[in-house]
Amino acid sequence: MGLIMIERKTHQAQRIADYLEAVPFVVDPHELYSTQTLYAGLDITRPESFEQCYDQRVYQHFLAQGKVTDNPLESLARNLHDFCIMQSTKRLLARYDKCQVVAVMGGNAMRRDDAAYEKVARISKALTEKGSLMVSGGGSGAMEATGFGAWMAGRSEEEFREALSRLASVPVQESHNYLAVSFGILRDYPQTQYINLSIPTWLYGHEWTSPFATHIAKLFENSVREDTLLTVAYGGIIYAPGRAGTIQEVFQEAVQNHYLTFGFASPMVFLDTEFWSKTTPFYPLLVDLLHKGIYKNLLLSLTDEVDEAVKTITDFQQKNGCKG
């Protein structure tokens, strides 16, 4: 009987090992992704190669197995992967004071030729140059603007404008030129001094991961991604115009600040007065709830100005003894 049990366990262990080896992703990555590793296999001059790059092969596998899978071996593989990615993320964040980490939330539909895109990029560039680690969800729109701004940190105004104009020439994700222009900027403006972090997910794999992040913590579980984005941003969150997902993140962060979940409240900076006070009037709602005592510990600000948004964050960092 003992031998039979040993044989069964050996067979089960072999099945698990075989499955983990067969999936098209590394189940135990020892470091975060980079643009080079995530887009490995992509030849930007050959658009047809896009489907064969690492990122897309993993995404197609993810869809084939089901976004929510009943296969325990697939669940094991995804969970192992995400655990390892989160461990690498923690090691990166450990290099910074907590209040140096700043996130930007905003819509993925924001166009590259939108004034809001430029504002987000300028805020991200300025904060990166002042020592912040900028974090985004790693997709298009406001998320890409965050990575782009951080990537251009240390560059001149002329260089920033030139790169931005190139992006604006392909304003939306409709063809592979959208990626090609990004890779062209990476080539012409290499970044060796500053870093930034993105945390995308294969759940939204139809949104191409922005190449502008130097460190990419791509995950399968979107719930882990969302929680991480909000919890690591001790230095504050800047809310650019967005829709349902961005609004959800507003209230998730408000709850964390209300309960002082991590020991202190972080700034919530709303960028675009018209949008947050009239189009989707959640800013005055939060102010009202704060005054009524329904919410507490909210550090709210509303602005249209890049410099004011940057100052709100840096003032908070200095007040809290941030070393950046």
CB-CB neighbours of 160 under 10 Å:
19
The distance in angstroms from the start CA to the end CA of the chain is 64
Rg (CA), the chain: 21
Token code pair at residue 96: 């910074």
Give the dihedral of Cα atoms 200, 206, 211, 213; nearest 10 deg. Answer: -10
Parse the chain into domains and list their residue ranges.
Answer: 2-89, 99-319
The verdict on domain 99-319 having CATH code 1.10.10.10 is no
Find residue 237's DSSP bridge partners: 103, 268
CA–CA separation, 80 and 71 (whole Å): 14
pTM: 0.95
In tens digits, the chain (324 residues) has pLDDT values of 465 555 566 778 899 999 999 999 999 999 999 999 999 999 999 999 999 999 999 999 999 999 999 999 999 999 999 999 999 999 999 999 999 999 999 999 999 999 999 999 999 999 999 999 999 999 999 999 999 999 999 999 999 999 999 999 999 998 889 999 999 999 999 999 999 999 999 999 999 999 999 999 999 999 999 999 999 999 999 999 999 999 999 999 999 999 999 888 999 999 999 999 999 999 999 999 999 999 999 999 999 999 999 999 999 999 998 866
